[in-house]
Structure 1
Amino acid sequence: MNGGGKAWLESLSVRGIRPGLESITSLLDALGSPQKAYRTIHVAGSDGKGSVCCMLESILISAGYRVGMFTSPQIISVNECIRIDGKDICDESFERVIQEVREASERTCECTNFEALTACAFLAFKEAGVDIAIIEVGMGGRLDATNVLDPEVTVINNIGMEHTQFLGNDLHTIASEKAGIMKPGVPCVTMNTGDALDAIKEKADELGCPLVCVDPDDIDVLNCAPDHTMIRYDCSTYRLGLPGSYQGRNAALAIETVQLLKDSSKIKRFIPIGLEAATWPCRMQKIDGLPLIIDATHTVKGAEFLSQDIDRIYGKVILVTAMLNDKDMDGVAKLLSKIAIRVLVSSPDSPRAAPAETLASCYRKYHDAVTAYSTVADAVETALKQEGTVLVTGSFRTAEDCLKWLKRIR
């Protein structure tokens, strides 16, 4: 294809989001069901999925396993979505699997971008000979293209109100959709409470799934620093390579997940090593040489933890933010306004972007110093000319715009 595979993959974006398993099942059947060639861990939730995945990846790599990891969306390059032993898939391997997926699609079905990307990941992991793959749900769970696995463990992280046009208008319904990744007899780890936990328990009872419920009160955050977090959990102390108190919750989920693997006795001693070595971009990421922090938080629960951690570590900040139009902008604005000296609002480079003035109107309810800018780059550049630490947050696309601007100026 002479490098044209990614262009074909991107061209599928016009087909939008199409929940359902019929197309992905046909596509994978045509590829010889590559997802059956290795063990899997399936991870769902509204917040923290990627962090849990990267912690599990780091622990398993530390234990000597060959590990695949599929997450989305990417920040800069789509290669980021498919990792093998902690490294993004190389262009040559990516082009090869895209070609195979494209040919299978032409024989079977018109797939979406995410269905094709999922198939590429599953095929790449088979060809790389991974021992185990960590698979993050794209959206929801029950009808997500990743939900064709026979996982060894499932994980359902914090669930919030999101994607309501696809998943439902209340927390119980959304949680029921996410609990759709649970399989008969397969253990599930969660940290949800209230209506979300009720929905997960109902599914666990229906399917006979052993359910491990992590209690947040069992996690003691001992220290939060710009480059790490110290926690105590289950009578052990851990240094996490990811900053932020909320990473303690993600670490607890990763620890409990490892304990449920069939060979956990060989892996458990590598948990501290893996948690300390884990890194994940745009999670309270401090940029070297600049008073700049980038975080991809885009939910109310995420904003709640982010505001607490930023205030604890850095104090008040200059806030640069841009969001997508299907998120709870007002809920996030109410929380992040509390830590802002001033707010610089923009619109990310995305067809789903919320207009800058729409987001600005949310922030003006809670803050007096709010200014709208035409691009994230303009907002960041302006913010960095002022005295103080700058926090850029609101979406993965906001983080992408900021990182692209940084690349241009450096």
Structure 2
Amino acid sequence: MNARNIIRSRSLDDWLLYIENIYTKNIHFSLHRIKLVAKKLNILNFKSFVFTVSGTNGKGSTCAILERFFLNAGYQVGLYTSPHLIHYYERIRINGKYLKDDLLHIKVFQTVDTVRQGIPLTYFEFITLSALLIFQEYSLDIIILEVGLGGRLDATNIIDPNISIITNIALDHTNILGDSREKIGFEKSGIFRKDIYAILGDRNLPNSIYQKSHSLNTCLHRIYYEWDWHKIGDVWNFYDHRGGLYNLPIPKVSLPSAAIALSALRTSNFTFEKRIFSKSLKEVYLPGRFQIILNHPRIIVDVAHNPHAAYFLRKQLEELLLHESKNVNLYAVIGMVFEKDIKSTLFPFFDIINYWYFSTIKTNRSSTFSVLRDILPKNSVACSSISSALNILINQVRKIDIILVFGSFFTVSEAVLFIKQKYHFKGI
């Protein structure tokens, strides 16, 4: 049996490992290679209405809310998102369901591998092509693509969207996207197209956004100018050129993301009854975003991993504490990758967290014990793993206390797997 036949006979996990190792050089960001393969696969043009969602934070929540809106209105919807928390299945949904069909995934992997004819593809490029192949097999009305990194040179940008979305622009991945909001705005505005609408959820847009939109005649729908929202007690209101939507329920995911998704939907000219909005906002759910995975003690996990996301997480924590006993203690369990701005990400919690536990995480990009120890308060506790930290805390904290796990998708993934195995948690 030759090498290619051996590869074809492998399991899904074997395939994923194979795909990770096709491109072993430093990543060279370019759409040239992936477009060559996409043309051979004939997957560059979809009849579906396409939303492409970029931004520093809130992309996943925006995608999940858009998906729920359209599903509840009876449309056929494909969603491609990243990264996954537990399993590769999480990256692709058809009509709200994960495709837990190993043979289907292996089939499209084989197709991409055959058609690429030796053209090197990164892991993300390979699986993006695979997702698009899967979408092609269904009669989808709507396709929602979450940008992996940046926008201009991201693999998802080979597809022309009908509406582009940028949730917000903050400093993250600065080693790749640039060290200023102007540079990052330029990269993210790479998903703009000529004469289409772009939804902007950032109230302080860099000039690079306006420059790109002007060059393409992209029509900007900006928060505060063309649309806006306000929270009033336990409900919120939305306003745009079509008028207002009032007394909407507050979702379990990010409210700013809900407003962005609603703006995108109304700009798309799909018409929905208000009951669809209310029903969808009550139902939408996204693993790993301020998610409670255990009660008594309460363990909350959140994938926040940069300063912008950290400040939003801080606000969510403060709102929760308004309804808690003043005697509650807050414990943090953290692990982060080394390229993040670790100090600025942890700083918002220094005056609110009572006790810190930290560890390395299961990736070769993990921050070291020494780096975390130098940043955290002196009484912080080093643990051999995230799981070990949780095991220690569960056995020593009071039932009313709160344990917050954050810092990385890797951190949250390990925490969720630990709780699933120990307590048969089924939340993901």
TM-score (normalised: structure 2): 0.87
Aligned to 2:191: 181
Question: Which aligned pairs between 1:10-409 and structure 2 lie closer than 5 A?
Answer: 10-14=17-21, 15=23, 17-33=27-43, 35-91=45-101, 92-105=103-116, 107=117, 109-194=119-204, 196-215=205-224, 218-223=228-233, 230-234=235-239, 235=244, 236-243=246-253, 247-262=254-269, 264-266=270-272, 270-290=276-296, 291-314=298-321, 317-364=330-377, 368-384=378-394, 385-387=396-398, 388-409=401-422
Q: CA deviation at 1:266?
A: 4.4
Distance 1:7 1:215, change over 3 A: farther
User: Letter of the aligned partner of 2:307 in structure 1?
Assistant: V
| Cα-to-partner distance string for 1:64-89 (whole Å, 9 max, x where unaligned) | 11101111110010110011111112
User: Letter of the aligned partner of 1:153 in structure 2?
Assistant: I
Q: Distance in 2 between matches of 1:86 and 1:208?
A: 34
| Cα-to-partner distance string for 1:86-133 (whole Å, 9 max, x where unaligned) | 11122232222222112122x251111100110011111111222111
Partners of 2:203 and 2:224 within 8 A in 1: no
User: Letter of the aligned partner of 1:159 in structure 2?
Assistant: I
Runs of 4+ with >4 A deviation: 266-269
Partners of 1:19 and 1:145 within 8 A in 2: no
Distance 1:10 1:34, change over 3 A: farther
For this pair of structures, how many residues does the alignment match? 396
Deviates more, 1:391-400 or 1:374-383: 374-383
Q: Distance in 2 between matches of 1:267 and 1:190?
A: 24
Q: Distance in 2 between matches of 1:286 and 1:223?
A: 23
User: Letter of the aligned partner of 1:201 in structure 2?
Assistant: Y
Q: Distance in 1 between matches of 2:250 and 2:113?
A: 40
Partners of 1:35 and 1:123 within 8 A in 2: no
Q: Distance in 1 between matches of 2:284 and 2:112?
A: 31
Alignment partner of 1:25: what SS?
helix
Q: Distance in 2 between matches of 1:286 and 1:408?
A: 16
Q: Distance in 1 between matches of 2:71 and 2:10?
A: 30
User: Letter of the aligned partner of 2:222 in structure 1?
Assistant: C
Q: CA deviation at 1:270?
A: 2.2
Identity rate, percent:
28
Q: Which has the larger radius of gyration?
A: 2
Structure 2 stretches lacking a partner, 5+ long:
1-7, 424-428
Q: CA deviation at 1:317?
A: 1.7
CA RMSD of aligned residues (A): 2.0
Alignment partner of 2:172: what SS?
coil
Q: Distance in 2 between matches of 1:270 and 1:99?
A: 40
Q: Distance in 1 between matches of 2:311 and 2:71?
A: 32
Alignment partner of 2:171: what SS?
coil
Q: Distance in 2 between matches of 1:32 and 1:277?
A: 36
| Cα-to-partner distance string for 1:179-228 (whole Å, 9 max, x where unaligned) | 1111111100112243x43221111111101101113994333457xxxx
User: Letter of the aligned partner of 1:137 in structure 2?
Assistant: V
Partners of 1:6 and 1:95 within 8 A in 2: no
Q: Distance in 2 between matches of 1:176 and 1:386?
A: 47
Q: CA deviation at 1:353?
A: 1.0
Q: Distance in 1 between matches of 2:47 and 2:124?
A: 21
User: Letter of the aligned partner of 2:210 in structure 1?
Assistant: K
| Cα-to-partner distance string for 1:292-322 (whole Å, 9 max, x where unaligned) | 1111111111110111211220365211111
Q: CA deviation at 1:3?
A: 4.9
Partners of 2:357 and 2:380 within 8 A in 1: yes
Structure 1 stretches lacking a partner, 5+ long:
225-229
Partners of 1:38 and 1:126 within 8 A in 2: no
Partners of 1:182 and 1:188 within 8 A in 2: yes
User: Letter of the aligned partner of 1:276 in structure 2?
Assistant: K
Alignment partner of 1:265: what SS?
coil
Alignment partner of 2:354: what SS?
strand
Alignment partner of 2:248: what SS?
strand
Alignment partner of 2:371: what SS?
helix
Q: Distance in 1 between matches of 2:262 and 2:255?
A: 10
Partners of 1:35 and 1:126 within 8 A in 2: no
Partners of 2:44 and 2:158 within 8 A in 1: no
Aligned to 1:227: none
